[in-house]
Structure 1
């Protein structure tokens, strides 16, 4: 019976994917930990927090799927330090600090528990929320989440040694400037994200094993996070399911910088995520 219910949910979500979502949007800025943190609220229902990837914005990471998610959830989408509408401040950029900022935002919004979905760097931040603020977490959805340096392809970290803003995907640059038309801010975000990735440190298996929330791990088979690491992460988390797709980085959510912009997997992945969150 549960299998039949899942198939029905999947079918209805896919065929309705292109229908216009009916939801209200509001948001603004919250003063958290010395930062003016930008957020948006879409739809109604159980809270779902969206955390974008590195060098990204709400729109560039989740613009394709957010309207569908907001049909079933109160979506709280955040732009983290130095990204999009949220300006940088003079403090280190870290996944731990991002996690603390999101927790402080939810406290201000009087949200005691939520689901969290993060893409790429946002997935790593979700892991830190699960570790540092477990009482806040209902379920986690991790899309291409890094947690060990060994989980990236050979040469990944060496590639940051001589990288410049010109190497940043043009759609992500455009998305930043749409949110904040300041080229100096774009350069600052780029430098911050590069420095963070160059200094990336493993999250220990012991820390991962403290996360008790049910978790869905999603990864492409040929993307920046190796599928083998997604498998390892799913086996290290106490309560995780795994979905490996024939896809590159962000193809399956319609991310603005994704190599495949056809987005054919997007309705399927959205349906699976909604089914997991509602299960």
Structure 2
């Protein structure tokens, strides 16, 4: 655990495990890297080097006056990867982290091996209407922020407002953008996700090497609700054959993996 300087911003990073292949965990909005480490990251440590970091205004990384933009978050992520010397990684992103993963892969495809997108939308219209009351944030969210943020609990409403401004206007990717991604990509959601199911299917169908997993009885917080199952599915994907071998291929028989 250490801070690294990324363009003058002390960015909290952590590395666990010592495998040759690298998994980078990209946390969700208003969350932090500890969440993914604790829920699923530990499952990968025996086979992978696992890296996580807190984006600006999240976790142990302080905020600045600038608004939030997914493009800036992708730039930050790329510079973290370059700083730690990660030349080819698996990106595992949850929610906002999945959006960041998409943008990193589009901008720097050579840095990415495989992608895991959990509860991820490629366009802001793909999610159900958000209702985040600054005076009554979801249970545990403010407490988690207050425990870690160098800015203190009083800064949470500022971060929440920035998040809402971004999430209701970004991202604006298209299926043509997604079609450029040749990386093997696992799209994973709960059947009652914040991301609309038809949007998730459109994401999957646009990806040249996409795979789709919809978990029943789960929501946008599927990594909290079914952490062991989610971790097992991800690990199977990261270590499995590409393209996968199936007995009755349909989509993949047409050249789509």
TM-score normalised by structure 2 residue count: 0.87
SS of the aligned residue for 1:186 comes to helix
Q: Indicate whether 1:230 and 2:205 are aligned.
A: no
Q: Indicate whether 1:275 and 2:250 are aligned.
A: no
Gaps of 5+ in 2: 241-257
Structure 1 residue 60, shift from structure 2 partner: 3.0
Please show how residues 106-255 of structure 1 align to structure 2 within 5 Å.
106-153=81-128, 156=129, 159=131, 163-180=132-149, 182-246=152-216, 247-251=218-222, 253-254=223-224
Structure 1 residue 61, shift from structure 2 partner: 4.2
Structure 2 CA distance for aligned equivalents of residues 178 and 79 of structure 1: 14
1:93 corresponds to which residue? 68
SS of the aligned residue for 1:107 comes to helix
Matched residue count = 237
Alignment check: 8 A CA contact 1:82 1:188 kept: no
Alignment check: 8 A CA contact 1:37 1:78 kept: yes
Question: Once superposed, which parts of structure 1, at least 4 consecutive aligned residues long, lie more than 6 Å away?
Answer: none
Structure 1 CA distance for aligned equivalents of residues 50 and 37 of structure 2: 11
C-alpha RMSD over aligned residues: 1.6
Structure 2 CA distance for aligned equivalents of residues 119 and 28 of structure 1: 22
Gaps of 5+ in 1: 1-26, 255-262
Structure 1 residue 59, shift from structure 2 partner: 2.2
